[in-house]
Structure 1
Amino acid sequence: MSVQSDGGSSAGDALFRPVRAGNAFEETVERLLQAIRLGVVGAGERLPPERELAERLGVSRVTLREAIRALADAGYVTSRRGRYGGTFVTESLPPPRAEGRLRDPAALEDALGLRHVLETGAAELAASRTLTPADRRHLTSTLADTGSANIDDYRRRDSRLHLAIAEVTSSGSLTTAVADVRMRINELLDRIPLLEPNLDHSNTQHEAIVDAILAGDPVAARQAMAEHIEGTASLLRGFLS
């Protein structure tokens, strides 16, 4: 499972937190989808064991099984029996639905504004901390994964890097908020084409952000993140507004 296991707050901790009782099934499906689509549990990887996952989400095993069955029917996971069995994310996820221009442009600006506040703040806070060796490895490894990703897997890897920056702040609440806004941004990105020049530019910007965090320079980290996400905002406004 692609989560940070030593030091800091992991995206797995943030996403697999107890759900609210009123909509247990729906929220369980949402949390599992977030973990899958954001790359917290990658393609071909196994979800945590059923008992552990039910306890972490605060739901019954019956509710968890119903949620997993729904995701299996939708093509996101598959179950395997036997000693090395469990529930695994499918190697090829269902393609997102592109729906063209937004009916409510204000929703775009709302998401972009929230992302700016959260992610520039996360970069600044991460650079302000004394990072552990595990934190530093987590950032550098996710940066490398993003830089080597092919075009089909790029957005998932990109999401993992942005979550990793939030994770090394050691703020579970911030990690959760970044994960939530990233889901909103990804839904918007799914409506527009992937442009390879933009991906190359993004990789250069990612390096600048991570370098500033590792160097302990909060001002540079915040500025680098602001520049990066404004580029994405420009594309989204251009295609969707």
Structure 2
Amino acid sequence: MGQGQRRAGQAGLEPVRVPSAADEVADRLLTAIALGEFSVGERLPPERELAEQLGVSRPTVRIAVGRLREIGCLEVVRGRSGGHYVRTGWRAESADAVRRTLMPKWERVHTLQDTRCLIESLIARTAAERCGADEAADIRAALAAYESASEPAEVRSTSAGLHEAIARAAHNEPLAVYSRQLLQEITAGFPIEPYSGNLTERSLAEHRALAEAVLAGEAERAARIAREHFTITGENLRAILERSTAEPDSAS
């Protein structure tokens, strides 16, 4: 092959782009927002907390957050309640980010989702068997807070509060820790339950039924409800991944 041919062939090659840690964090943040783990108008956790949750450095988080700010996904608010706030939900860049974040680990996500349903079923069953007066009061208060919540961020936090109260009633901290770890690995790397407004009514009914079964000491019923209830997470993930594959690459 002549020198001119080599140059011509080399000119047709494109450099291979290796994603950086900041690229991955930006994708995870966009995916978390698409999933409803962070809602429009909600402030992101502090830089230090994001770095700890994702296992990266603070400078990496700073770069990733800056990229989301540049595309208009986040805005900076100054003052006492300042920070980075979510400005938009799903956007043109979301489909690519969701595919890059979820597709490579989808088989594992499916397996872990099944594991999580089994663990949550065990937690509910054990809580129904061990729930005392103090734990029962906590569960009732947590359910009332959840029922009165209206904004997505409040719905998510009070839902988590109810499940934490039920987990405490099981009197087995390792089970609760494993539950949080599974959620973090299944989603975009944050221990936050994805929120989908179209499943609000189903979630409300199942939360009530689960709390009632635990409080009544109905272990089998509590286990069954929990096992079915936590399939919602998998349904949310599947729906958002299907949406991402239905949309064209934003670079095309």
Range class of TM-score, shorter chain? 0.5 to 0.7
1:68: how far off? 1.1
Residue 117, structure 1, aligned to residue 118, structure 2: yes
Partner of 2:178: 173
> Closer, same or farther in 2 for the Cα pair 1:223/1:183, shift >3 Å?
farther
Write the mapping of 1:5-20 to structure 2, written as runs, cut at 5 A: none
| Cα distance in 1, alignment partners of residues 47 and 200 from structure 2 | 37
Aligned to 1:65: 62
One-letter identity of the residue aligned with 1:207: R
1:62-113 Cα shifts (integer Å, max 9, x gaps): 22211212333455422123454311122x41256599xx9xx977864653
1:176–1:43 CA distance, 2 compared to 1 (3 A): farther
Counterpart of 1:224 in structure 2 is: 225
The 3 A distance-change label for structure 1 pair 62 and 221 is same
Amino acid across the alignment from 1:124: R
Count of matched residue positions in the alignment of Structure 1 and Structure 2: 198
Q: Are 1:50 and 1:61, in contact at CA under 8 Å, matched by a contact in 2?
A: yes
Q: Distance in 1 between matches of 2:26 and 2:178?
A: 20
Show the counterpart of 2:82.
85
Native 8 Å contact 1:123 1:225 kept in 2: yes
Cα contact 1:43–1:89 (8 A) shared by 2: yes
- Take 1:207 and 1:123, find their aligned partners in 2: how far apart are those partners? 13
- Asked if 2 retains the 8 angstrom alpha-carbon contact of 1:114 and 1:181, the reply is no
Same amino acid, percent of matched pairs: 29
Report the residue type matching 1:94 in the other structure: W
Instruction: Return closer, same or farther for 1:224/1:55 CA change in 2, 3 Å cut-off.
Output: closer
**What's the CA shift for 1:230?**
6.4
Q: 1:38 to 1:49 in 2, by over 3 A?
A: same
Q: Are the aligned partners of 2:26 and 2:68 in contact in 1 as well (CA < 8 Å)?
A: yes
| Partner secondary structure for residue 42 of structure 2 | coil
Question: Structure 1: which 5+ runs fail to align?
Answer: 1-22
User: Per-residue CA shift, 1:124-172, capped at 9, x if unaligned?
Assistant: 3454455385565344323443xx57xxx6xx88765664455332523
- What's the CA shift for 1:121? 2.9
SS in 2 for 1:221: helix
Match of 1:206 in 2: 207
Q: 1:141 aligns with which of 125, 140, 145?
A: 145
> Shift of the alpha carbon at 1:208?
0.5
For the pair shown, the structure with the greater C-alpha radius of gyration is 2
Amino acid at match of 1:123: A
1:64/1:129 Cα in 2 relative to 1: closer, same or farther (>3 Å)? farther
Let me know the Cα RMSD of the aligned residues: 5.0
**1:37-74 CA distances to partner (integer Å, 9 max, x unpaired)?**
66565432323444565567664432221121233345
For residues 5-50 of structure 1, give each alpha carbon's deviation from its aligned partner in whole angstroms, at most 9, with x where no partner exists. xxxxxxxxxxxxxxxxxx8546644665576566565432323444
- Give TM-score scaled by structure 2 length: 0.52
Unaligned runs of 5+ in 2: 1-19, 168-172, 243-252
